[in-house]
Structure 1
Amino acid sequence: MDYLIGVDLGTTATKAVLFKTDGTIVASSSQGYELYRDSNGMAEEELEDIFEAVLITIREVSIHLNENDKLLAVSFSTQMHSLIAFDEKWQALTRVITWADTRAVTYTEQLKASGKGLEIYKRTGTPIHPMAPLSKFLWLRQERADIYNRAEHYLELKGYIFWRLFGVTKIELSTATGTGIFNIFDLDWDTEALELTGVNREQLPEVVEPYEIEQGMRHEFAVKMGIDVDTKFVWGAADGPLSNLGVNAIQSGVAAITIGTSGAIRVVTDKPRTDSKARTFTYALDKEHWVVGGPVNSGGDVFRWLRDAVLDGKLTFDEITELAAGIAPGSDGLLFHPYLGGERAPLWDANARGSFFGLNYTHNRNHMARSVLEGVMFNLYMVALSLIEVTGDLTQIQATGGFTSSELWTQILADIFEQPINVPESREAGCLAAVIMAEKALGLVDSLNVIEQMVGSNQTYQPNEDNFDTYRALSPIYIRLSRLLQREYESIAEFQREE
Structure 2
Amino acid sequence: MQYLIGVDLGTTATKAVLFEKDGKIIASSSQAYPLHRNASGMAEESLEEIFEAVLVTIREVSINLEDEDELLAVSFSTQMHSLIAFDENWQPLTRLITWADTRAVKYTEQIKASKKGFDIYRRTGTPLHPMAPLSKFMWLQAEYPSIYQKAAHYLELKGYIFQRLFGTNKIDLSTATGTGVFNIFELQWDKEALEMTGIKESQLPNVVEPYEIEENLPHEYAKKMGIQSSTKFIWGAADGPLSNLGVNAIKPGVAAITIGTSGAIRVVTDRPKTDEKGRTFTYALDREHWVVGGPVNSGGDVFRWARDQIFDGKITFDEVTELAANISPGADGLLFHPYLGGERAPIWDANARGSFFGLNYGHNRSHMAHSVLEGVIFNIYMVALSLVEVVGDLNMIQATGGFTSSGLWTQILADIFEQPINVPESREAGCLAAVIMAEKALGLIDDISEIEKMVGTNQTYQPNPENFSIYREISPIFIRLSRSFLAEYENIANFQRKFEKD
TM-score range, shorter chain: over 0.9
Please tell me whether residue 476 in structure 1 is matched to residue 476 in structure 2: yes
- TM-fit CA distance, 1:115: 2.8
Corresponding residue of 1:86: 86
Read off the aligned partner of 1:389 and give its amino acid letter.
Answer: E
Q: Which residue of 2 aligns with 1:73?
A: 73
1:151-175: per-residue Cα shift (whole Å, max 9, x none)? 1110000000000111101000000
**Which one-letter code corresponds to 1:397 in the other structure?**
I
- Tell me the residue number matched to 1:46: 46
Deviates more, 1:186-195 or 1:87-96: 87-96
Aligned to 2:165: 165
Residue aligning to 1:228: 228
Aligned AA for 1:481? L
How far the C-alpha of 1:425 sits from its partner, in A, is 0.4
Residues in 1 aligned to 2:403 and 2:415: alpha-carbon distance in whole angstroms: 15
Quick check: 445-454 or 303-312, which moved more?
A: 303-312
Counterpart CA distance in 2 for 1:119 and 1:224 is 47
Tell me, what secondary structure is at the counterpart of 1:363?
coil
Residue in 1 aligned with 2:257?
257
Residue matched to 1:330: 330
2:421 maps to what in 1? 421
CA displacement at 1:311 relative to structure 2: 1.3
Letter in 2 for 1:268: V
Cα deviation per residue 1:289-333 (whole Å; 9 max; x = unaligned)? 000000000011111111112211111110010010011110010
Is 1:104 matched up with 2:84? no
Deviation at 1:442, TM superposition (A): 0.1
Distance 2:164 2:496 in 1: 39
Q: CA deviation at 1:495?
A: 1.2
- Name the amino acid aligned to 1:206: N
Shifted more, 64-73 versus 108-117: the winner is 108-117
1:390-419 CA-partner distances (Å, limit 9, x unpaired): 000000000000000000000000000000
Q: Which residue in the other structure is 1:370 paired with? A: 370
In structure 1, what is the Cα distance between the partners aligned to 2:345 and 2:272?
18
- 1:183 and 2:194 equivalent? no
TM-score, L = length of structure 1: 1.00
**Secondary structure in structure 1 of the residue aligned to 2:294:** strand
Secondary structure in structure 2 of the residue aligned to 1:283 = strand
Deviation at 1:448, TM superposition (A): 0.7
Residue 117 of structure 1: how far off its partner (Å)? 1.4
Q: Secondary structure at the match of 2:207?
A: strand
1:155 counterpart residue number = 155
Equivalent residue number for residue 123 of structure 1: 123
CA distance in 2 between counterparts of 1:434 and 1:397 reads 21
Shift of residue 497, structure 1, vs aligned partner: 1.7
TM-score (norm 2): 0.99
Question: Aligned equivalents of 2:242 and 2:126: distance in 1?
Answer: 17
- 1: CA distance between counterparts of 2:218 and 2:341? 39
- What secondary structure is seen at the aligned counterpart in 1 of 2:344? coil
Partners of 2:219 and 2:112 lie apart in 1 by 48
SS in 1 for 2:351: coil
Corresponding residue for 2:462?
Answer: 462
Give the Cα separation in 1 of the matches to 2:230 and 2:142. Answer: 43
Cα deviation per residue 1:319-369 (whole Å; 9 max; x = unaligned)?
010010011110010000000110000001000000000000111110010
Distance 1:197 1:69 in 2: 49
Aligned to 2:192: 192
> What is the CA–CA distance in structure 1 between the aligned matches of 2:461 and 2:318, rounded to whole Å?
19
- % identical aligned pairs: 78
- What is the alpha-carbon distance in structure 2 between the residues aligned to residue 166 and residue 218 of structure 1? 7
- Return the alpha-carbon distance in structure 1 between the equivalents of residues 497 and 48 of structure 2: 30
CA distance in 1, matches of 2:337, 2:419: 22
Give 1:113 shift.
Answer: 1.2
For residues 315 and 152 of structure 2, what CA distance do their matches in structure 1 show?
A: 49
Aligned-pair CA distance for 1:496 = 1.6
2:314 match: secondary structure: coil
SS of equivalent to 1:82: coil
CA distance in 2, matches of 1:313, 1:414: 28
Q: Distance in 1 between matches of 2:47 and 2:480?
A: 42
Deviations 1:60-111 (A, max 9, x none): 0000000000000000000000000011121111110000000000110111
Structure 1, unaligned runs of 5 or more: none
Give the C-alpha shift of residue 135 in structure 1. Answer: 0.4
Counterpart in the other structure of 2:205: 205
Q: Given residue 176 of structure 1, which amino acid in structure 2 is its aligned partner? A: A
Mean Cα deviation higher: 140-149 or 434-443: 140-149
Aligned residue-pair number: 499
Structure 2 CA distance for aligned equivalents of residues 17 and 205 of structure 1: 28
Alpha-carbon distance between aligned partners in 2 of 1:151 and 1:315, rounded to the nearest angstrom: 48
| Cα distance between partner residues in 2 of 1:230 and 1:142 | 45
Runs of 4+ aligned residues of structure 1 deviating over 6 Å after TM superposition are none
Q: Which amino acid aligns with 1:113?
A: A
Q: Which residue of 1 aligns with 2:273?
A: 273
The letter of the residue matching 1:209 is: E
Per-residue CA deviations over 1:113-148 (Å, capped at 9, x if unaligned) read 113211000000000000000000011011111111
Q: Distance in 1 between matches of 2:411 and 2:187?
A: 40
Q: Does 1:353 align with 2:360?
A: no
| 1:152 partner letter | A
CA RMSD of aligned residues (A): 0.6
The residue type paired with residue 190 of structure 1 is D
* Superposition deviation, residue 498 in structure 1: 2.3
CA displacement, residues 180-237 of structure 1 (integer Å, 9 cap, x when unaligned): 0000000000000000000001111000000000011222111110001121000000
Structure-1 separation of matches of 2:146 and 2:464? 57
